[in-house]
Chain A
């Protein structure tokens, strides 16, 4: 039982093909292609009350629905950045390991910083996929907000446009209640969607079924998005 490679001090033998890349264990355990989905959630003070409660309920159902689909369970990865202030509340995980975090509404709406932080997470995740030979679908970024950015958002808008131009992600903006749809329209390249009331449940049901469909497709040939039924036309 002699290894061709080196014997490390810890007594663990490994060969040259074992050189570690970030996340190698996770991808060895589950080498399926990945559909990363980043949620940028507004948790500023204005979301307090029924809005944040509905959002949390929607997230729990989202996990549950994804976990029912054996393929989505291995392929979809969800991460969450909340803003008010900007905080990574969940890094990218498959639905079986994703825990919907408790959300508390407080603070202002640093949307620009949240978008930049989120896009950086997406970039790093893609790098980990590449280093580990894991194929991936174009990431989805979902911005959900009920307000107006309280920080400078022009750099974020540029980053979104640049990323959409080279197809490095798809950015969707969803406005809730009093959201400034005008600003959202300037940040997102795609027309922003306005949530009907607080139908977060329907929004996440649509999102999970869209991600399920995506995970069944081929990374380079995503299926057309199903029509949304949770927004004002």
Chain B
């Protein structure tokens, strides 16, 4: 069979093959002359009777729902002799293989406008397509990276429908093939010929596909295996070594480097992945396509945009954007909005810079005003002069008793001397006892400590309420601006600088905010410290003067 060959459609219409538009393992795809909406898939091997019956039955079982989401066969194609050679199906345009979407490098080229919102929506649409096919009693069975096509606006089409396991009018037409990395553990390592496939089998392939889409093309079972032997994906599937699962350590697996943790997809969806890949799921109970649709629709509706990274969208409630640290660690842009010199308006540099300029400079840290009231002496200092004044007289008063004894009473000379000695001793003892509270050094120490506290407080005030951090960040932005100007004609380079500028601007706003907060939060404390210092200084001055 080749271009121009005569063919016969199922309804007897005669036609010819047009140009060849595709080539697969099983057959080649041609345009059909005079049938713009259809293409013909011609198989390399002659079709068996069962295969031809399956195609005829499928054409009979077409439905609007199937037509919307799949390339469902429209009829058998035959050679002019009547020998079945292929099938006719709707032509699908503007779609690309799903693997072009999920790995970052090809995504940047083939789906330049896709961000994580797109990926979540595509994942939901894949689940919708599965749900639709299964709702009509069929099973996709051979899930693989080339059997799903995606359009730029996230619509999904399932192709190679003739390999589905279909049940029509009570007859089950099986699927004999499968791609191992999408095949559930219970079907690994066995011939698939004649095996009855179930929606629970599909649910494994669907979960793997959704994982690939949401996790930047990483396969859920492709991890770092901690053993020494080889761990191909098929073996990891059989042994339930889900590399991102909560139980991965028990299965001797680690996530590969530079991959986000499972939690980034929201707790609900993380749970769906755990259920799809747990050993118990071999008996049934993997999340159904409908469950995926519901959970992914909820996720899509709650996505939040990262204020920093370009085109970064993520699940709500995360403590950070999952994509920023990934991009920083690898230097790989995960999402690339279209940029060229012509469409650089994506980032309107001028008006963005106006926003930066419009951000008010916080100005120097305000002075801490001197306390309005004049300092009063503290009670300790107030008592000090009194004590000093009374120190001598009090001592004298106490000493006068033994002194009086010495002179007032008839005594031997030696006793008089002893009493006088005792009086002098008592006098000095009392003065010594009262000495502590009089010592000026106490007030000097108090003043010194208050001054030290004030200096620390002032430094903190300058740092937190002053403009230094704002000025530093602003200088960083000016440097980035210079780099941006130099990078004219290098769109990818500019994209990265723009990302840094957005981040720095975000931080600048945060800093301006923090400065205002600091000014009101730290002010009262600073004022109090200053008041204490002034009192200590006044105390010291007073006490020293009155000595």
Candidate in B103, B217, B218, B258 with the most chain A CB atoms within 10 angstroms? B258
Q: Which residues of A contact B232 (CB under 8 A)?
A: 135, 219-220
Known: A12-B329, A15-B325, A18-B325. A28 touches B258 (CB 8 A): yes
Question: Is residue B436 contacting chain A, with contact meaning CB distance below 8 A?
Answer: no
A7-21, CB under 8 A of B: which get 1 and which 0?
A: 000001111011111
Q: Which of A201-226 contact B (CB under 8 A)?
A: 213, 216, 218-221
B48-92, CB under 8 A of A: which get 1 and which 0?
A: 000000000000000000000000000000000000000000000
Q: Which residues of B contact A220 (CB under 8 A)?
A: 180, 232, 234-235
Minimum CB–CB distance from B274 to chain A (whole Å) comes to 18
Candidate in B104, B235, B243, B259 with the most chain A CB atoms within 10 angstroms? B259
* Contact (Cβ within 8 A) B222 A216: no
A126-165, CB under 8 A of B: which get 1 and which 0?
A: 0000111111000000000000000000000000000000
Question: Is residue A25 contacting chain B, with contact meaning CB distance below 8 A?
Answer: yes
Known: A2-B320, A31-B222, A133-B223. A14 touches B325 (CB 8 A): yes
Question: Is residue B256 contacting chain A, with contact meaning CB distance below 8 A?
Answer: yes
Return the contact of B258 from the options A20, A30, A70, A221 (Cβ within 8 A).
A20
Known: A28-B330, A218-B179, A221-B180. A13 touches B219 (CB 8 A): no
Q: Which residues of B contact A27 (CB under 8 A)?
A: 256, 258
* Contact (Cβ within 8 A) A133 B330: no
Q: Which residues of A contact B330 (CB under 8 A)?
A: 24-25, 28-29
Cα A4 to Cα B106 with chains together (Å): 31
Q: Which of B214-233 contact A (CB under 8 A)?
A: 216-219, 222-225, 232-233
Known: A12-B328, A221-B180. A2 touches B99 (CB 8 A): no
Question: Is residue A32 contacting chain B, with contact meaning CB distance below 8 A?
Answer: yes
The count of chain B contact residues (Cβ–Cβ below 8 Å) is 46
Cα A135 to Cα B256 with chains together (Å): 11
Candidate in B25, B100, B103, B325 with the most chain A CB atoms within 10 angstroms? B325
Question: Is residue A194 contacting chain B, with contact meaning CB distance below 8 A?
Answer: no
* Contact (Cβ within 8 A) B100 A70: yes
* Contact (Cβ within 8 A) B331 A25: yes
Cα A135 to Cα B234 with chains together (Å): 10
Minimum CB–CB distance from B315 to chain A (whole Å) comes to 16
* Contact (Cβ within 8 A) B105 A133: no
* Contact (Cβ within 8 A) A25 B319: no
Known: A74-B106, A130-B225. A17 touches B260 (CB 8 A): yes
Question: Is residue A233 contacting chain B, with contact meaning CB distance below 8 A?
Answer: no
A167 to B, closest residue via Cβ: B230
Question: Is residue B393 contacting chain A, with contact meaning CB distance below 8 A?
Answer: no
Cα A132 to Cα B331 with chains together (Å): 16
B108 to A, closest residue via Cβ: A29
Candidate in A4, A32, A131 with the most chain B CB atoms within 10 angstroms? A32
Cα A3 to Cα B20 with chains together (Å): 53
Question: Is residue B97 contacting chain A, with contact meaning CB distance below 8 A?
Answer: yes
Cα A5 to Cα B181 with chains together (Å): 33
Known: A218-B181, A220-B234. A135 touches B328 (CB 8 A): no
Q: Which residues of A contact B218 (CB under 8 A)?
A: 31, 133
Cα A219 to Cα B257 with chains together (Å): 22
Q: Which of B286-318 contact A (CB under 8 A)?
A: 308
Cα A1 to Cα B502 with chains together (Å): 13
Known: A15-B325, A32-B99. A216 touches B261 (CB 8 A): no
Minimum CB–CB distance from A122 to chain B (whole Å) comes to 14
Minimum CB–CB distance from B366 to chain A (whole Å) comes to 29
* Contact (Cβ within 8 A) A32 B224: no
* Contact (Cβ within 8 A) B224 A25: no
Q: Which residues of B contact A18 (CB under 8 A)?
A: 257-258, 325-326, 329
* Contact (Cβ within 8 A) B103 A30: yes
Question: Is residue B332 contacting chain A, with contact meaning CB distance below 8 A?
Answer: yes
Q: Which residues of A contact B243 (CB under 8 A)?
A: 133
Q: Which of A29-74 contact B (CB under 8 A)?
A: 29-33, 70-71, 73-74
* Contact (Cβ within 8 A) B105 A74: yes
Cα A111 to Cα B100 with chains together (Å): 40
B181 to A, closest residue via Cβ: A218
Q: Which residues of B contact A1 (CB under 8 A)?
A: 308, 320-321, 324, 506
Known: A2-B319, A30-B105, A131-B224. A25 touches B100 (CB 8 A): no
Question: Is residue B492 contacting chain A, with contact meaning CB distance below 8 A?
Answer: no
Question: Is residue B255 contacting chain A, with contact meaning CB distance below 8 A?
Answer: yes
Cα A66 to Cα B104 with chains together (Å): 20
Cα A40 to Cα B84 with chains together (Å): 47
Known: A24-B257, A70-B97. A135 touches B219 (CB 8 A): yes
Q: Which of A99-135 contact B (CB under 8 A)?
A: 130-135
Return the contact of A4 from the options B97, B180, B216, B320 (Cβ within 8 A).
B320
* Contact (Cβ within 8 A) A24 B258: yes
B188 to A, closest residue via Cβ: A220
* Contact (Cβ within 8 A) A130 B104: no
Question: Is residue B490 contacting chain A, with contact meaning CB distance below 8 A?
Answer: no
Cα A218 to Cα B506 with chains together (Å): 46
A69 to B, closest residue via Cβ: B23
Candidate in A15, A31, A70, A133 with the most chain B CB atoms within 10 angstroms? A133
Q: Which residues of A contact B225 (CB under 8 A)?
A: 130
Cα A203 to Cα B367 with chains together (Å): 83
Q: Which residues of B contact A31 (CB under 8 A)?
A: 103, 216-219, 222, 256
Write 7 A-B pairs (CB below 8 A) sorted by A numbering: A5-B325, A27-B256, A29-B332, A31-B216, A74-B105, A133-B223, A135-B222
Q: Rank and list the top 5 A-B pairs by shortest CB-CB distance, nearest first.
A: A133-B256, A18-B329, A25-B330, A218-B180, A28-B330
Instruction: With A13-B324, A28-B330 given, name 20 new contacts (CB 8 A).
Output: A1-B308, A1-B320, A2-B319, A4-B320, A5-B325, A17-B255, A20-B258, A24-B257, A24-B258, A24-B330, A25-B332, A28-B104, A28-B258, A28-B326, A29-B104, A31-B256, A70-B106, A132-B258, A133-B223, A134-B222
